[in-house]
Chain A
Amino acid sequence: MAKTIMIVDDSASMRQVVGIALKGAGYEVIEASDGKDALSKLTGVKIHLIVSDINMPVMDGISFVKEVKQLDQYKFTPIIMLTTEMEEDKKRAAKEAGAKAWVTKPFQPPILLAAIAKLVLP
């Protein structure tokens, strides 16, 4: 059974490229453009891992992680945060909120794939 990954990022091209890479690796992909959009899609589907950006309009990544941790059906889902080297404090905040893995931007798809595979193999 293919594993499902949700990618939350405000950049459409980022979602698209990551989506292509993930599908190529054998995952199913659900896309969301910000935290709020992502939350609205977290109903009734099984999601094995969430990849989320931090800096997003409407609802940022850290608020989103906090919300996810309140959802009974999703609170144990591993979350990979996409951080940049400038956001050390945010990284800490994300970790406290419950995101235990991270990948530093900018990255190329294989780096993200390797990080995902450690948590969920396709």
Chain B
Amino acid sequence: MTAKAKKNDGILQLSIKDDMTIYNAEALKETLLGYCRPDTRELQLDLSAVAEIDSAGLQLLLLLKAEAQRRGFILRLLRHSEAVIEVFELLKLGMYFGDPIVIPANWKKS
């Protein structure tokens, strides 16, 4: 199972429980697409379990952000994992997604 979801009043929560790489990009896309519903007001993605993210994974997040804007719902990224933070730092993406990134105390690179 790539993702686990909770639903509450148009606010959807989704934990991604796998890598976000080209190998599972297709499955992940289908899952994410499933949450882009007309009644979706907010989609919260929990990224804490993403051990690995590559360009395909990043591309999915970027595409989803654009889709959310198009459809008019809010995309929130929560609890970025180390791997996700590394990529966001590399490409200075924090501002683009606009979500607060919590850097854990045991974060090795800071």
- What's the Cα separation between A72 and B25 when bound, in Å? 13
Q: Are B22 and A76 in contact (CB under 8 A)?
A: yes
B99 is an interface residue with CB less than 8 A from chain A: no
Give the chain A neighbours of B22 by CB distance below 8 A: 76
**Complex contact A1–B23 (CB within 8 A):** no
**Which of under 10, 10 to 19, 20 to 34, or 35 or more describes the interface residues of A?**
under 10
For A44-84 the 0/1 string (1 means CB < 8 A from B) is 00000000000000000000000000001100100000000
**In the complex, chain B residues 8-63 whose Cβ is within 8 Å of any chain A Cβ:** 22-23, 51-52
Q: Chain A residues with Cβ under 8 A from B23's Cβ?
A: 72-73, 76
- Residue tally, chain B, CB below 8 Å to A: 5
* Minimum CB–CB distance for B90 against chain A, Å: 11
Taking chain A's interface residues, is the majority helix, strand, or loop, or is none over half, making it mixed? loop
Give Cα A24–Cα B52 distance, bound, in whole angstroms: 22
Most buried by A among B23, B51, B52: B23
Which residues of A1-18 have CB atoms within 8 Å of chain B's CB atoms? 1
Query: Per a CB cutoff under 8 Å, which of A1, A73, A76 touches B51?
Result: A1
Shortest Cβ distance from B25 into A: residue: A76
Chain A residues positioned under 8 Å from B52 (CB to CB): 1
Determine how close the nearest CB of chain B comes to the CB of A106; give it in whole angstroms: 32
Note all chain B residues with C-beta closer than 8 A to A1: 51-52, 83
The complex places the Cα of A37 from the Cα of B67 at a distance, in Å, of: 45
Q: How far is the CB of A79 from chain B (nearest CB, A)?
A: 15
Q: Tell me the bound Cα distance from A22 to B51 in angstroms.
A: 22
Instruction: Collect the chain B residues with CB atoms within 8 Å of residue A72's CB.
Output: 23
Q: Which residue of B lies closest to A72 (CB)?
A: B23
Kindly list chain A residues whose C-beta atoms are within 8 Å of the C-beta of B51.
Answer: 1
- Closest A-B pairs by Cβ, 4 of them: A76-B22, A1-B51, A73-B23, A76-B23
Which residue numbers of B lie inside 8 Å of A, CB to CB? 22-23, 51-52, 83
| Residues in chain A within 8 A of chain B (CB atoms) | 1, 72-73, 76
